[in-house]
C-alpha cells in the first residue's frame, strides 16, 4: 500500500476540519517562521511550541509529565532561548539546528523538531511516535519509533518525510497533518 497524493490531501483536509488545535497551529505556521528568523518573538511564543508538542495529544501525555517538561523549559533564560531559536532559523543543517536546541532545558529531539516545524514548515516536520508509526505501516521506515529519538533518528525520519513530500508535491506541514489523521484511522 502506497501513501498517495490523494490520501495525504484528504487526510490533511480532515485534520483541518476535525483537530481542535488547527486554528492556532495554522496561525503559528503563518507567523512564527518570520518571528523566529528575525528574533521578533516573545517568551510565550517559544513556550507555546513546547506546550503544543505535548498538548496536541489532548491528554494522552500524563499531566505530571507534561508539566515537568514545560517547567524545565521555563527555567531557561529568555536570551538563551532567543539565541537558540534565531540560530535554528538561520541554520540549514537539521543536526546543527537540533543540537543548538538541545542545549536548552526541557528540549529533547522531539521538542526540538517542533521548533523546526514552526521555524521552517515548508521543509521540516515534527517527530513523534504517531507520525513515525504511520510511516512504518506504509513501509517507508523500517524500525519502530525509538524510545528516545536521537539526532540521527530524526535525520532518518526527516529524509523519509522529505522524500514523500517531494514525490507527492506537498509541504511538510501538509504531510504532518495527514500522518496525524492516518494514525487515528
CB distance 117 to 125 below 8 Å: yes
At 20 the pLDDT is: 94
Query: 184 CB contacts (<8 Å, ≥6 apart)?
Result: none
At 1 the pLDDT is: 62
Instruction: Report mean pLDDT in 10-residue bins for the chain, 185 residues.
Output: 91 95 96 96 97 86 84 97 93 90 97 96 94 97 96 97 97 97 87
At 184 the pLDDT is: 76
39: alpha, beta or left? (left if phi > 0; alpha if psi -120 to 50): left
Amino acid at each position: 500500500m502506497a501513501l498517495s497524493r490523494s490520501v495525504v490531501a484528504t487526510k490533511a483536509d480532515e485534520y483541518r476540519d476535525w483537530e481542535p488545535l488547527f486554528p492556532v497551529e495554522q496561525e503559528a505556521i503563518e507567523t512564527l517562521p518570520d518571528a523566529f528568523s528575525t528574533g521578533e518573538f516573545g517568551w510565550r511564543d517559544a513556550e507555546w511550541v513546547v506546550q503544543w508538542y505535548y498538548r496536541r495529544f489532548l491528554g494522552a501525555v500524563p499531566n505530571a509529565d507534561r508539566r515537568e517538561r514545560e517547567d524545565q523549559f521555563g527555567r531557561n533564560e529568555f536570551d538563551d532561548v532567543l539565541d537558540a531559536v534565531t540560530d535554528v532559523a538561520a541554520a540549514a543543517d537539521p543536526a546543527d539546528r537540533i543540537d543548538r536546541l538541545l542545549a536548552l532545558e526541557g528540549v529533547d529531539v522531539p521538542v526540538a523538531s517542533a521548533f523546526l516545524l514552526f521555524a521552517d514548515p515548508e521543509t521540516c516536520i515534527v517527530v513523534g511516535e504517531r507520525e513515525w508509526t504511520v510511516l512504518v505501516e506504509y513501509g517507508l521506515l523500517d524500525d519502530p519509533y525509538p524510545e528516545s529519538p536521537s539526532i540521527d533518528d530524526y535525520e532518518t525520519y526527516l529524509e523519509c518525510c522529505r522524500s514523500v513530500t517531494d514525490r507527492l508535491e506537498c509541504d511538510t506541514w501538509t504531510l504532518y497533518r495527514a500522518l496525524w489523521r492516518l494514525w487515528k484511522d
